[in-house]
Structure formats: structure tokens, C-alpha cells
Structure 1
Amino acid sequence: MAGFVRDILTTLAYEPHPVEQLSNDSAALSRLDQRLAGFVQGAGGRGRGFISIRPGDCSVWDGNPRDLPGLTGENCRSLIESIAQEDGNRIPVLVRLNPPGSELPYQLLVGSRRRFAVDWLNHNGRPEIRLSAVIVDLTDEEAFRLADIENREREDITELDRARSYQNAVDRFYGGVQSRMAEALSLSNSQLSRLLSLAQMPDDVVNAFATRDELRVRHSEVLTPLLRRPEQCERILAAARQIGDEQQRLAAANEKLIPAATVLTRLKQAGIGARKIAQEWPIMLGEAKIGKVRPGREGLAIDLLVADGADLDALLAQLRAAIVESRDLAAPDDADD
């Protein structure tokens, strides 16, 4: 089984994959699910490592980004119905043994929705159903990569949850080296940097959006440069708190919440304030100025010095951030009206 799982880690592509419907149209299979289902069929539904447990027998590994409180009987309805019809989960969850002395014997690595669905059924008239699981022996880093494969294929994992799991993982599993993590997850350094910037959004900014799902990487690209400056950061956070209070009042009154585009515009305008349009904006790499962006005749002009041996991925990430920031600062204040 360990060899099968490690084969998944090395051969399963990360690119988005069209979702295929189950024959009963009650749920959708991810690519990882398809591989697990194929393994079960090849083993005849049995074999070494297969166990049947209660959902309460396993704790959930803290390296998984899934927002467990967000799982409900309603948003898992099709999965619950499918498991009820089949008297159990056809696609097993993946667990590993907890260390000796732990309160529970197993630790859930993959399959949070299936575990929730079986637990829901156990408490709603089907106490006999057990959770089908496969025991695997994986390191924390391998478990993180496997959970990341599964969660990239799910629509109910927010960009913010994924980004914050990456922020935790870069120190926990990769020694704080972003390039190591990017290589392990088949991401470019710039893609990972953008996600980590989202993870660092202040809670006040997060709460200004109607839901966590509405805060995206593209929003953090606009706000992150402004939040780096103390005076602009203070204005943005004050505006974010005001918007958050408005969202709560609207929600209490059962009225339409402020859309993400409007929230972003208000936060950006609060950060920019009554600033004087600069004639050029520096491009920084660490503490060094490597170039500048300035207004051109038909857009923005860029002057850039690329030193021998420069980290091109890091340089391109900073160049992209500088262009986004300069474009926003150079735009008229009413550009988003």
C-alpha cells in the first residue's frame, strides 16, 4: 500500500482536472478518489491495511487545510445519500497510526468529507455503518502533499484556507525554504509567493469580505503593496473594520452583503487616500533597488537591472508585484466607479 500511495505522489498531476460524475449523479470523483477506487477494486475490496472503524476512532491531522466546521449535512448531502445507499464508503479514507499513548488509535490524512458523512449517518439512524479506511505509513511532508493533491481538486477549499496551510507548511515541512516547497508541490516560486501573500492578509481585511471564499489571490495582489506602508496599512485596517461592521449589520437584517469588488475598491481607495501621483515607483528585491516603473506614453515603462546569478523567479515575482502596485497608483481615483 505504501508503494501505491507514493506512486500517487509521483505520478498524479496537479493540473486542474474536469470532474467526472458518478453513475448515480449523486457525487463527483476527484482524480485521487479515482485512483483509490481503482486500488480497492484491484484488491477485491480487501487486503493488508484495510480496516473498518468508527469515525470517532480517528483524529484529523492538523496539516490538512480543509475547514472541518464548514462541513454540514446540507453541503455533504449527495455524499451522505451515496454512502447510505451503499451501506458504507466505497472509496476508503487514508489513515495512519497515532503515536503510542495517543487518545485515539488513528489519524485521518485524506477523506474528511467521507468521515463526516459516516459520522452524520451514525447519528441519524444508521449506527451500523462503519468507515472503510486504509492504513498508510507516510511522513508528515508526504501526508501534506497527498492532502494537497486531494484539496486542489475540491471546490469547497477556499484559496485562503489553502494559502494558510501553505504558510504553515513552508516552515513545518520545508525548513522555511519556499523554493523547496514550490518544487515539491509542482508550483512556480511566483505562484507560491502569491499564495503566501494571501495567507498574510490581516484578519480585519479577511472579515471585510462577505465570506472567506470571496477573498482571493488577486485581491491580495492589490492590497499587499499598500499594507506594507504603515500609514496606508492603518487606513486600510480602519476601513476594513468599518466594512466588517457593515457586513454584520446587513447579515443580521438578512440583506444583500457588500460584494467583493466593492470591498476591494473601498480598501484600495482607503489605502491610496489623497496621495500625490508619483513620477516613478521602485522595484525592490529584498533591500536592493533593482529598477523602477514609470508612466509611459501608452502605459507603464520599466527600467530593470538583472545581475548575474539573480534568482529569476524571485525577480519576476517582484516585478509583477511592482507592476500591479504601480498600475493601481497611477490609475485615476474614479477608475473603479
Structure 2
Amino acid sequence: MSQAAETPLDNRQQWRKGRMAGLIRDIMATLSRDNGAARPAAELEALSRLDDRLTSFAGDRIDSRAPMLIRPADCVVWDGNPRDQPGLNPDSCRSLIESIAAEGGNRIPVLVRLNPQASEQPYQLLVGSRRRFAIDWLNHNGRPELRLNALVVELSDEEAFRLADIENRERADICELDRARSYQQAVDRFYGGVQSRMAEALGLSNSQLSRLLALAQLPEEVIQAFATKEELKVRYSELLTPLLRRHEQRADLIAEARIIAQEQQARAAGNGSMLASATVLSRLRQAAARRPRESSDMEIMAGGDRIGRARVTKGGVVLDLTIASDADLDLLFAHVREAILAARALA
């Protein structure tokens, strides 16, 4: 049987995919330059895989129009983007500002879509917050003629979130807490509160996603105890979350967090050195360990159901589990891991 001839639609889809592939390669090259030092081979390989994922994801969603020039004020940053917009400043974007000033604009287009809201701003910015900031800064600092090179894409909210996440996941200037908070909002907004659906869509394991969401759920008092939000890491939430689940320990830990936050404010006002994250973490854990515990046994819960118990003995941690035949093992193991960490804290 002879192979069917390519249709004009097939040719168009290939053209669009090839065009997006070139764009994404340029975006990734820009990301590599923006991060400064030369990347090791492992990171270059990771960027290559990211290039493939972006190209595959966005290949047939690009608008047929060529890149256009718009004012930064013509687009509003989409509220689903995980980047902390107030965190952008001339110092953090200095190399990009200088590059755009020298080239007379942003060579790599930002990605926008038509703004569905009734607004003076016709576009929503999906990818390219730093480039938009740089052009806007230059407009107000001697280069009013510069415009933002933008490319229109057709994406749903969920697709826009995935695309922004794919790019931002490789950025060193997006802290783990900002990323975790964006995931916390997205799981309800785009995935009906079902973590496994979100994990599958983002190419994460349920365990990875659960760890990030635990970071986003830390009390504000605990977050304020650290010198900056950039110091908060996923591994810290793994140690603190089990302690926060016990009522008495939670009260003691939060009380200590408030004391530490006041110390941090006093040090900042007096130009003193801030307490290191390791010191903060140690003090919070010690505060939770002061109160005697009546029992070292604890229940292991998953999705609101009791699946077993963890018990501390002289030889270690003993687990008693009941695993249903249709259980999500990744999610179950994530809860078991948390239970083991909590049991160790009681030892």
C-alpha cells in the first residue's frame, strides 16, 4: 500500500513545530547565558532534554503570525506564572539589560496570549518576565524607543502553567518556596485538587510533588523565622512537617519561630548578621523536642485514610502497614517516608 501524500495541513504543522523548535533553542541558549558561568556536561544534557520537552509541548500551539513589537505595558503578567515579579530588579537583571540595550531589543521573543479579561492590556505574558522587565526598565532609563519582541501562542491556563513551569524549573533565580507555592495554587486551580493528576502532567513523581507541597504549607511564622525565603528548602519541610502535625509540638515550634523572627528583625535593623538557616532549623527542632511525649506510636495517613502505624523501638522504626491492591505506591511511599522521619524525631 502506498504511503499517503502529505497534506498542506501536515506541512503547516511541521513548519510550526520547526519554528517553535528554533525558538525554544534560542530561549534555552539565553537561559544558559543568563546564568553566567559555563555549565557542566550534565546540565547541558539536562537543557537538551528540556529543549525536547518544550518543543514537543508547544510545537503546534504557536500562532501563525510573526513576532511583533509591543510595549511592556501592553501585557500583564499571567497570575499563574511561578516567578516572583517583585523580586525582579535592575541588579538581578543587569546582564540581560545590558545585552538588550546593546542589541536594540530582545532578540528572543517573549510568549504571550490574548488577554481574555476585559482590560486595557491586550496580552497576557506567559514566558519572558525578565525580558519584559528589562525592556520596561530601559524605557524608563534613556531608551524609550525600545519595544518588546513578542510571539502569540494559543494555550489554555493549564497548558500555560506547564509551559512556564518547564522553563522556570531550570532557573536558579526562582526559589523553591515560590515554586512550591505556585504548585499549591495550581493543584486546585488546574487539576481539581488531585495531586496524582498534576504529578503526571508535570512529569514528576507523586513523592516529589508531595515534598514541594509540604514546603508551601509551612506556617507563615516558620517562613518568617528564616533570613530570606530563598533559604527555605524542601529538605527543611521534610524535617519540620512531621513535628507540625502534632498539636503540642506545633505550638512549641511556632512559638520559637516567632521568637527567632523577632531576633532576625532586630539583627537586620542593627545591621548585624542574620541567623543562618542551619541555626534556625536546629532551634525549631529543639523547641519541638522539649515537651515529653506520652507515646512514640503514630498513625500513618494517606488521603484521609489510616494505612498503618509507625513505632519507635531501640532497634529503629517498626512499621505496620495495610496496602490496598489498587494503592498509588508513589503516594503511599511518600507518606511512609514522612512517618519514618517523624518517628525518628521522637527517638
Aligned to 1:291: 309
Aligned length: 314
More helix by share: 2
What whole-Å deviation, never above 9, does each CA across 1:10-32 have from its counterpart, x for those lacking one? x99xxxx9x7448xx69999769
Q: 1:255 to 1:280 in 2, by over 3 A?
A: same
Q: Distance in 1 between matches of 2:322 and 2:123?
A: 54
Q: Distance in 2 between matches of 1:53 and 1:132?
A: 7
Q: Distance in 2 between matches of 1:135 and 1:296?
A: 62
| Structure 1: 5+ residue stretches without partners | 39-46, 331-337
Aligned to 1:311: 328
Q: Percent identity?
A: 60
* Superposition TM-score, scaled by structure 2 size: 0.82
Q: Of the candidates 155, 158, 177, which is equivalent to residue 175 of structure 2?
A: 158
Shift of 1:260: 0.8
Aligned to 1:145: 162
Q: Does 1:243 align with 2:249?
A: no
Q: Distance in 2 between matches of 1:34 and 1:174?
A: 25
Q: Does 1:52 align with 2:69?
A: yes
Q: 1:288 to 1:326 in 2, by over 3 A?
A: same
Q: Distance in 2 between matches of 1:328 and 1:287?
A: 23
8 Å CA contact 1:93, 1:114 repeated in 2: yes
What whole-Å deviation, never above 9, does each CA across 1:254-306 have from its counterpart, x for those lacking one? 11100111111111111222324845443333331423233243x43433332
Q: Distance in 2 between matches of 1:78 and 1:33?
A: 23
Aligned to 1:207: 224
What whole-Å deviation, never above 9, does each CA across 1:104-138 have from its counterpart, x for those lacking one? 11110000000000111111111111110001110
Q: Distance in 2 between matches of 1:172 and 1:106?
A: 21
* Superposition TM-score, scaled by structure 1 size: 0.84
Q: How does 1:50-199 map to 2 (within 5 A)?
A: 50-99=67-116, 101-199=118-216
8 Å CA contact 1:93, 1:134 repeated in 2: yes
Q: Distance in 1 between matches of 2:169 and 2:131?
A: 17
Q: 1:258 to 1:105 in 2, by over 3 A?
A: same
Shift of 1:6: 12
Q: Does 1:271 align with 2:288?
A: yes
Q: 1:307 to 1:21 in 2, by over 3 A?
A: same
8 Å CA contact 1:151, 1:157 repeated in 2: yes
Q: Say which SS state the counterpart of residue 231 (structure 1) adopts.
A: helix
Amino acid at match of 1:309: D
Shift of 1:62: 0.2
Please provide the CA RMSD for this pair: 3.2
Q: 1:179 to 1:141 in 2, by over 3 A?
A: same
8 Å CA contact 2:253, 2:287 repeated in 1: yes
| Structure 2: 5+ residue stretches without partners | 1-11, 56-63
Q: Does 1:234 align with 2:259?
A: no
8 Å CA contact 1:55, 1:119 repeated in 2: yes
8 Å CA contact 2:112, 2:124 repeated in 1: yes
8 Å CA contact 1:64, 1:165 repeated in 2: yes
Q: 1:217 to 1:51 in 2, by over 3 A?
A: same
What whole-Å deviation, never above 9, does each CA across 1:298-337 have from its counterpart, x for those lacking one? x43433332322221221011100111111221xxxxxxx
Q: Say which SS state the counterpart of residue 111 (structure 2) adopts.
A: strand
Q: Distance in 1 between matches of 2:310 and 2:37?
A: 54
